[in-house]
Amino acid sequence: MLDVLNDVLWGYVLIYGLIAAGLAFTVFSRFVQFRYFGAMFGILRQAFHHEAGHLSSFQALMLSVAGRVGAGNIAGVAVAITLGGPGAVFWMWMIGLIGMATSYFECALAQLYKNAEPDGTYRGGPAYYIERGLGQRWLAGVFSVLLLVTFGFGFNALQSYTVASSFQDAFGIPTWLTGVVLLAVLGLIIFGGIKRIATAAEIIVPVMAAGYILIALGVILFNLTEVPAAFMLILRSAFGLEEAFAGGLGAAIAMGVRRGLFSNEAGLGSAPNVAAVAYVRHPGNQGIVQSFSVFIDTLIICSCTAFMILLSGIYSPGVEQAGVALTQSALADHVGEWGRSFVSIALMLFAFSSMIYNYYLGENSLNFFSEENQKLFNGFRVFTLVLVLWGSLQDLSTVFAFADITMGLLAVVNLVAVILLIKVGLRIINDYDEQRRAGIAQPVFDPDKFADLNIDRAAWPAIPTRAAAE
């Protein structure tokens, strides 16, 4: 029954819905993800600025990358290539490019409708723009429950299972021991609050991403003469022109789109929870930064895995290995047996950073219902750690299927909300564009221009002068 529901939700509703929405957001925003692609790097230069109660924009970027980058980038890409052929990689790229526009809208809206909390911090996300923007608190409550169940509970257990089973296969370490270590380290981080969570992500994510990218670049450089052939194989297979994959066009598209959506999370409503907490002068800034997060996930890190596999002597049509085993074998073929251990360690870092992110999403969903109940939050932290230990000892195929359904429903609720708020999102873009055309390098948000909207004025207490912004 769970498989049937997943097939309907992810095979039809979300694939077509997210693609259509992404294309619409791209066209209506006049291709915002391409117009401001160069500006993404300029904004990152100012992304380390901290403000009381906020994360820096860089911390928010790293925390969202921590969530987007996970097992899907190592195992998911391998599954897509195995079942859909090399052409699936092309369709992953395409879904990533249009997903950048979706991420812009949802994350800019999260910034606009963020809440100032009594302790001086800030919260936001789809639940807040559903309540404030659409006036539907009940639907915001449904979203928060789905977010808690999917990320706060289900996916943390799943990430623990992935790490524990990988370490057992690679190093012979008992799964319970891995679970205990994960519990201890994660506990030290999550009991420190959002600042410690963000600081951990700020350290772990660049290290894990840079290490993985450097290994992939090394593989590509050592096989530079074969890269054009691998690239052409991807393109020909994507359109059914490669003889070995003739007739597999539908599988290439389906697997590329599904793995791409699952990996980059654009439109699922997860990243906006982090984007809302960042300090930016204008909501458009965080939209641009979070678009870049999708680019990092899909166009860079997923591509690293794809080329490591396709440039190896391991992959061929009908290969029996799949998932993380294929990626491990491919890297081992390039660099020797230590490549298997490297993939396991990379998977551990990717999964652990996702666990930090998943915990924060669960905490944010609880915060929507209760802002000051410390016992509730501590209870959630303890329960999260118990699930991490439990997950390391289980076969979680049923839990995974259930979490897929709740994540799908989460995406449906968020997608409907963002579509209904598209005019507000376009106002953010237009205001940002107007200031850039006027020569203002760092546009500043003026809440008076949005006085007709139900935004929290306490979340935008001071407007820097334009001179200061420049």
C-alpha to C-alpha distance for 164 and 168, rounded to whole angstroms: 6
Is residue 322 a part of any domain in this protein?
yes
Is residue 449 a part of any domain in this protein?
no
- Digit-coded pLDDT (tens) for 240-261: 766 555 556 677 777 777 777 7
Is residue 466 a part of any domain in this protein?
no
Average pLDDT over residues 106-125: 86
Greater pLDDT, 146 or 190: 146
Take residue 77 and report the two structure tokens written for it: 């890409």
Is residue 464 a part of any domain in this protein?
no
Range 145-150 contact pairs with CB under 8 angstroms and sequence separation of 24 or more: 145/365, 146/406, 146/407, 146/409, 146/410, 146/413, 147/269, 147/270, 147/273, 147/361, 147/362, 147/364, 147/365, 147/410, 148/362, 148/365, 148/366, 149/403, 149/406, 150/403, 150/406, 150/407, 150/410
The pLDDT assigned to 372 comes to: 65
The pLDDT assigned to 469 comes to: 44
Other Cβ atoms closer than 10 A to 138 = 9
Range of the domain at 104: 2-443
The pLDDT assigned to 216 comes to: 86
Other Cβ atoms closer than 10 A to 158 = 24
Q: Is the pLDDT of residue 50 over 60?
A: no
Average pLDDT over residues 421-434: 94
C-alpha to C-alpha distance for 89 and 304, rounded to whole angstroms: 11
Least confident of 38-47, 217-226, 431-440: 38-47
Of the pLDDT bands very low, low, confident and very high (cuts 50, 70, 90), residue 415 is very high
The number of residues making up the chain comes to 470
pTM of the model: 0.84
The pLDDT assigned to 248 comes to: 62
Residue-averaged pLDDT of the chain: 81
Q: Are 110 and 124 in contact (CB under 8 A)?
A: yes
Q: 282: phi > 0 → left, psi -120 to 50 → alpha, else beta; which?
A: beta
The pLDDT assigned to 433 comes to: 93
Is residue 459 a part of any domain in this protein?
no
Is residue 145 a part of any domain in this protein?
yes
Cα–Cα distances in Å, from 441 out to 39, 245, 282, 339, 420? 10, 49, 12, 45, 30
C-alpha to C-alpha distance for 143 and 230, rounded to whole angstroms: 42
Q: Are 56 and 223 in contact (CB under 8 A)?
A: no
Amino acid at 441: A
- Digit-coded pLDDT (tens) for 358-401: 888 888 888 887 766 677 778 888 888 888 888 778 766 666 67
Closest CA to 102 of 81, 80, 126, 74: 126
C-alpha to C-alpha distance for 43 and 288, rounded to whole angstroms: 8
Residue the block writes with tokens 């999102």: 425
Task: Of 28-42, 196-210, 219-233, 327-341, give the range with the top mean pLDDT.
Answer: 219-233
C-alpha to C-alpha distance for 315 and 433, rounded to whole angstroms: 46
Cα–Cα distances in Å, from 270 out to 61, 184, 273? 13, 25, 6
Q: Domain count for the chain, please give it.
A: 1
- Digit-coded pLDDT (tens) for 121-169: 788 889 999 999 999 999 999 999 988 888 878 778 877 887 887 778 7
CATH number for 405: 1.20.1740
Is residue 105 a part of any domain in this protein?
yes
Cα–Cα distances in Å, from 79 out to 61, 175, 321, 326, 359? 27, 24, 9, 9, 26
The pLDDT assigned to 46 comes to: 56
Is residue 267 a part of any domain in this protein?
yes
Of the pLDDT bands very low, low, confident and very high (cuts 50, 70, 90), residue 465 is very low
C-alpha to C-alpha distance for 299 and 92, rounded to whole angstroms: 8
- Digit-coded pLDDT (tens) for 264-312: 778 888 889 888 887 788 999 888 888 888 888 888 888 888 998 999 8
